[in-house]
Chains A and B, each alone.
Chain A
Amino acid sequence: MKENMKDPYNTKLQVDIGGLVLKNPVMTASGTFGYGEEYANFIDLNRLGALIVKGISLERRVGNPPHRIMETPCGMLNAIGLENVGVRSFLDEKLPFLKNFDVPVIVNIFGETVEEYRKLAQALSDVRGVDGLEVNISCPNVLKGGVEFGTDPDMANKVTRAVKSVTDLPVIVKLTPNVTDIAEIARSVEEGGADAVSLINTLKGMSIDIEGRVPHLKNITGGLSGPAIKPVALRMVWEVVKSVSIPVIGVGGIMDAADAVEFLIAGAKAVQIGTANFVNPHTTIDVLEGIDNYLIEHGIDDINDLIGTLKV
């Protein structure tokens, strides 16, 4: 599209996430949108701000034994265990489909060691169709790696540095809420060179079958997501926005545009839609259109004029 023919709709919603310019701030959250193809029937993927795919590891992972999910009031618990096809199959079998769309693809990466994160970043850099990396140091459902990196500021810093040392792609680090002070972790990954942070991943929780007196999940514990965690996510986004100067992406229980606008007002430059995709596969587009309507109704010409405008 020529510069002077820019669609005002696009201009108004455009945000910059650490050098990655998105046509709008609505992304999919990793692990809730498969590799994109699962939802291509329901929405036009081209309309998304960015698509974050299911977390990828170096080798294929089979994930945790069933049962893996349980509904909770206003949300769900999951213990999938990062089942994924592995980076090679992702590049060969999944990415070609996504190249058919005009949507930035951000690959969520997961390793059990710092070296694995580095290798993954290397394998995904300079690949046409990969526009950014989201570093998952926050999965509560795996024994090694995951949240053990995300709860230790030094380790979080080390992983970020390792990834940044081998890639020019924008690097987003996804943070866990299962810490005492999330702002401290955010500062440590900023110091490590992260271009942005996304938060929150799931909150660790559990659920018990009172008839059998056994956990509902085979993994015993799982990650809580959905609207139940939104107030926690919003509070943490607000805390982190005040603590770092890199962009913050808000994730956690966003079900509609009003939820998303709350995160933007709190200072998030973009939002990710997660569990809501399961409930309503059209949520991302509904949120996008709702944000646009909100801006029009409130006479705001540029979404960046809304971001971080919380009055306290």
Chain B
Amino acid sequence: MPHKTVRMSGKIIFNREIAKGHFLMSLNVSGHFSSAEASFRGVTPGQFVMLRAKGRDVPFLRRPMSIYSLYPSAGDLIIELLYRVAGKGTFVISRLKPDDEIDILGPLGRGFDIFPHCKRVVLVAGGIGIAPLSFLGHYYGADTVNKPPQIICYVGAQRADLLVGLDRMDEICSDIRISTDDGSRGYHGLVTELFEQDITLYNSSDSVVYSCGPFPMIKSLAEILRNQAVPCQVSVEERMACGVGACLGCAISVKSGYRKVCKDGPVFDIHELVWD
């Protein structure tokens, strides 16, 4: 469903650290902004918002964040964001308290394509990349028209205490396979290695793979899938200024040239990406 990007004001309900440097923020966009709820109706997982704390000059630019979840509540719209403190900007955002106001642009970008009759959805998440994939899994799980697909999730993190979002994945996944770089939980190694072990289970006739995570992880996944027919869509990151396709700052290399992550993405076919 088409939707219009709007600028709106949200109020922080909570903004809590759920693992070292990882935060869950819940925002209430009040009923006063009636256009917001309408705008967000029809949002697809993988789309994002851009945030700026009201009345603060730092960070200067808005910060893009994937939508982790979205739902109406008593006439208001609740937007949840799962994010990692990666620099000064996200650090400032992580210090914000309940009732602090946030200036929001959204919904932005092109989300994941949904395949309604797909039998098996495979999610490959690296670190905070679990955020849009969790939204996607719940989206598939909530399909009341078609029989929801089987959802399998591969989740990787550096250490056990940095695994976030598993509780919500538990609600929808038939199988969650975990890896940690230091072996403190699950498979000792990279999540892509874990996924590669199962690659023969998935084929193009009944499965689709979705992924989000650090750039090297996506690159490694692309190599694993190079000769596989199973479709794979990935959500990628790039520094952004405007989020609406005007500044051309978030260019990414694809086979046909450069694309804007904010407008043409952030979701791309993994086989379209160019790795240089």
Contacts and interface: CB of A to CB of B under 8 A. Distances in A.
Interface of A: 31-34, 38-39, 41-42, 54, 62-63, 65-76, 78, 80, 83, 226-227, 275, 277-282
Contacts of B62: 278-279
Given A69-B239, A281-B7, A32 B246 contact: yes
Interface string B209-221: 0000000000000
A279 B7 CA distance: 11
Nearest to A75: B60
Interface centre among A34, A54, A71, A227 (most CB of B within 10 A): A71
B33 to A, nearest CB: 14
A226 B58 CA distance: 13
Interface of B: 4-7, 52, 57-62, 89, 103, 105, 238-253, 257-258
6 contacts: A41-B244, A65-B258, A66-B253, A68-B248, A80-B249, A279-B52
Nearest to B6: A41
A228 B221 CA distance: 41
B60 A226 contact: yes
Given A41-B4, A80-B249, A67 B238 contact: yes
Given A68-B249, A69-B249, A282-B7, A63 B258 contact: yes
Contacts of B257: 62
Contacts of B249: 68-69, 78, 80
Chain A to chain B: the 3 pairs with minimum beta-carbon distance, closest first: A69-B249, A34-B246, A38-B246
A281 B105 contact: yes
B7 to A, nearest CB: 6
B248 A279 contact: no
A75 B58 CA distance: 10
Contact of B248 (A67, A76, A83, A226): A83
B115 to A, nearest CB: 29
Contacts of B241: 69, 76, 78, 275, 278
